[in-house]
Amino acid sequence: MIKKYKEYEKEILSLVDELNSKQSFLYIESENILILGFESEISNLRATAGNVIVIDIEPKEINLNNVKFINNDLNSGFPELSTKFDLVVANFIMEYIQEKKIFFKNIIEKLTNSGILVIGLWFHNRILTPKLEYKFRDFFNKIGFKIINMEVIERNVNDPNFMPKVLFITLERE
């Protein structure tokens, strides 16, 4: 699989760019933003005047006055944060989270009542069937979220063994 990533790096990076583009208006409209994991968020950070906290196991510092970095493994819990957030971004980290229900419970505690959570999941070689979409909706409803939008962003690489895709989900608190 690593070979496929290297072979289609351009297409995969364009998926990340498209995901960032779809999320950019949320950054602009949000006053307090929490980013969980960091690799793909730099372009949107430069577009926001909001206060941003980034939690990552290996945060990469950038020189923006409105951004604070916290080194933390999210599998060991969330650090103490006094702020509530309008926007929480969790792109490309779900495969590393061991206790997903606890993770989402922590997010709900950090969101304002009208807060938005966005998730980007690698979805290579998968199909979003109605049954799978129902499972996602059911899971999120049970833990206190309503799906606003769920879509697959994909690239055609003319390779029947590899279909680069990202599942983009936007949620709000119920």
The pLDDT value recorded for residue 103 is 93
Give yes or no for residue 53 having a pLDDT over 70. Answer: yes
Whether 50 is covered by a domain: the verdict is yes
3-state secondary structure of 88: strand
The pLDDT value recorded for residue 67 is 84
Which strand (E) or helix (H) includes residue 45?
helix 42-45
Whether 54 is covered by a domain: the verdict is yes
Whether 25 is covered by a domain: the verdict is yes
Q: Average pLDDT, stretch 92-119?
A: 92
Cα angle 36, 42, 45 (rounded to 5 degrees) comes to 80
Whether 31 is covered by a domain: the verdict is yes
Cα angle 116, 119, 121 (rounded to 5 degrees) comes to 170
Higher pLDDT, 27 or 111: 111
The pLDDT value recorded for residue 39 is 62
Residue-number span of the structural domain to which 23 is assigned: 1-75+96-122
Give yes or no for residue 70 having a pLDDT over 70. Answer: yes
Whether 3 is covered by a domain: the verdict is yes
Give yes or no for residue 2 having a pLDDT over 80. Answer: no
Number of domains the chain is built from: 1
Whether 168 is covered by a domain: the verdict is no
Rounded Cα distance between 110 and 17, Å, is: 27
Give pTM, 2 decimals: 0.90
The pLDDT value recorded for residue 42 is 65
Strand order across the 111-122 sheet: 67-71, 51-56, 32-36, 85-91, 111-122, 165-173, 145-154
Handedness of CA 77, 82, 84, 85 (dihedral sign): negative
Whether 19 is covered by a domain: the verdict is yes
Higher pLDDT, 118 or 9: 118
Whether 81 is covered by a domain: the verdict is no
Residue 58, burial from CB neighbour count under 10 angstroms (0-12, 13-18, 19+): exposed
